[in-house]
Amino acid sequence: MSVRQSLLAILAQGPCYGYQLRHEFDRRTGSVWPLNVGQIYNTLERLERDGLVRRGATDDHGHVYWEITPAGADEVDRWLSSPVVRGQGTRDELAIKLAVAATLPGVDASAAIRAQRAASMFQLEQLRLRRTERDEETPEELAWSLVVDSQIFAAEAEVRWLDHVERRLAAHPRHAVALELTAERPKRGRPAKAAALVADHVPAA
Any idea where the domains of the chain sit in the sequence? 3-81, 93-180
Average pLDDT, integer, range 72-84: 92
pLDDT for 40 equals 93
Average pLDDT, integer, range 82-98: 81
Architecture of domain 3-81: Orthogonal Bundle (1.10)
pLDDT for 205 equals 42
Average pLDDT, integer, range 174-187: 73
Q: What is the mean pLDDT of the chain?
A: 85
pLDDT for 35 equals 86
N-to-C CA span, the chain: 30
pTM above 0.85, yes or no: no
Q: Between 184 and 117, where is the model more confident?
A: 117
Average pLDDT, integer, range 62-82: 95
| Burial class of residue 165 (count of CB atoms within 10 Å of its CB; 0-12, 13-18, 19+) | buried
Distance between CA atoms of residues 34 and 19, nearest Å: 12
With a pLDDT cut of 70, the percent of the chain lying above it is: 86
pLDDT for 138 equals 86
Return the closest-CA partner of residue 31 out of 139, 152, 153, 143.
Answer: 143
